[in-house]
């Protein structure tokens, strides 16, 4: 069309170390390859769009953050196809955590057969936490399901010694965000708040214990994978 809408692309990465980053190019075929020199009025019009763009995304982030100010641990399922270009086959999760040093949130997620799912943590400004140096998010590749098919993720401020720990990096309050893409089950996770001392009683007996050395090794591998991803 004469005035096409902007295009936004998102590349999903599950196995950071093993996957190859895609490369993409985009060209207009209905005009000559050599573009004419930019005219001053066109440059001015484009620059005037910058504050509009900034205002739009700041308002969107504030709105999403305000929407997640409900009771800590409560899960909301969001449809973002109407106003934010979300995928029709994708359901978004959001909520808020508020934890003392001796507490944890236990997520029980049952996505079934799923193209992609993830859950990650953010601070109260909706900024994703340090994903390169801390395990602040997991997905269907990096997490292993229990024998009953459920993924049990643990949000805590200190390491509880389980593989599926989501590290708040010292924050006691913040947001959690997630996506379920083309999953058999788009049901909300079951979330429970409990004392860290009681965590093992709520996990399957076969849940492994992660030692400090094993955590160190997994974080180094995570950092390597993060360094291989393309970022702004």
Strand, helix or coil for residue 102: coil
CA distances (Å), origin 209, targets 106, 148, 228 = 16, 19, 28
Specify burial of residue 75 (Cβ count, 10 A radius: 0-12, 13-18, 19+).
middle
Whether the per-residue pLDDT at 147 is higher than 70: the answer is: yes
27 pLDDT higher than 60: yes
Q: Which two tokens stand for residue 203?
A: 């996990």
pLDDT, residue 28, reads: 81
Residue among 92, 210, 206, 209 at smallest CA distance from 150:
206
The whole-number average pLDDT for the span 98-105 is 95
Picking from 185, 154, 187, the residue whose alpha carbon sits closest to that of residue 77 is: 187
> Encoding tokens for residue 175?
């947001």
% of the chain exceeding 70 in pLDDT:
89
Grouping H, G, I as helix, E, B as strand and the rest as coil, residue 93 is strand
pLDDT at residue number 122: 93
pLDDT tens track for 32-69:
899 889 999 999 999 999 999 888 877 776 766 665 55
Q: How far apart are CA 20 and CA 176, in angstroms?
A: 27
Residue located via tokens 């340090």: 130
Average pLDDT over residues 11-35: 85
- Say whether pLDDT at 78 is over 80: no
Q: Does residue 156 register a pLDDT over 90?
A: yes
Higher-confidence residue of 102 and 85: namely 102
* pLDDT at res. 163: 97
Residue 20's pLDDT is what? 85
CA R_g for the chain: 21
Cα pseudo-dihedral 51, 53, 55, 61, rounded to 10? -150
Average pLDDT, the chain: 87
CA distance 105 to 17: 28
Mean pLDDT value across residues 64-83 = 67
**Any idea which residue has 């996506």 for tokens?**
179
Work out the number of other CB atoms within 10 angstroms of the CB of residue 86.
15
Tell me which of 182 and 137 has the higher pLDDT.
Answer: 137
pLDDT band of residue 1 (cuts 50, 70, 90) is low
Judged against a pLDDT cut of 90, whether residue 230 lies above it is answered with no
Query: Which residues have C-beta within 8 Å of that of residue 110, sequence separation ≥ 6?
Result: 149, 150, 151, 185, 187, 189
CA 218/CA 208 separation, integer angstroms: 14
CA–CA gap between residue 183 and residue 193 (Å, rounded): 26
The confidence score (pLDDT) of residue 99 equals 95
**At residue 145, does pLDDT exceed 80?**
yes
Q: What are phi and psi of 222, to 5 degrees?
A: -60, -45
């Amino acid at each position: 069309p004469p005035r096409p809408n902007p295009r936004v692309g998102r590349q999903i990465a599950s196995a950071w170390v093993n996957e190859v980053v895609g490369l993409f190019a985009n060209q207009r075929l209905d005009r000559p390859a050599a573009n004419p020199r930019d005219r001053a009025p066109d440059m001015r019009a484009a620059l005037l769009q910058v504050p509009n763009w900034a205002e739009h995304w700041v308002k969107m982030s504030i709105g999403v953050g305000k929407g997640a100010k409900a009771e800590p641990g409560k899960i909301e399922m969001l449809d973002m196809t109407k106003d934010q270009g979300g995928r029709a086959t994708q359901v978004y999760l959001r909520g808020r955590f508020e934890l003392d040093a001796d507490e944890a949130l236990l997520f029980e997620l049952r996505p079934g057969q799923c193209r992609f799912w993830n859950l990650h943590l953010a601070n109260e400004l909706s900024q994703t936490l340090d994903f390169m140096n801390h395990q602040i998010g997991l997905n269907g590749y990096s997490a292993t399901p229990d024998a009953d098919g459920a993924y049990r993720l643990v949000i805590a401020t200190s390491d509880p010694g389980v593989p599926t720990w989501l590290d708040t990096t010292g924050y006691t309050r913040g947001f959690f965000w997630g996506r379920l893409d083309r999953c058999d089950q788009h049901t909300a996770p079951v979330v429970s708040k409990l004392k860290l001392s009681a965590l093992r009683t709520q996990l399957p007996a076969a849940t492994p214990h992660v030692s400090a050395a094993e955590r160190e090794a997994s974080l180094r591998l995570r950092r390597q994978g993060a360094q291989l991803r393309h970022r702004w």
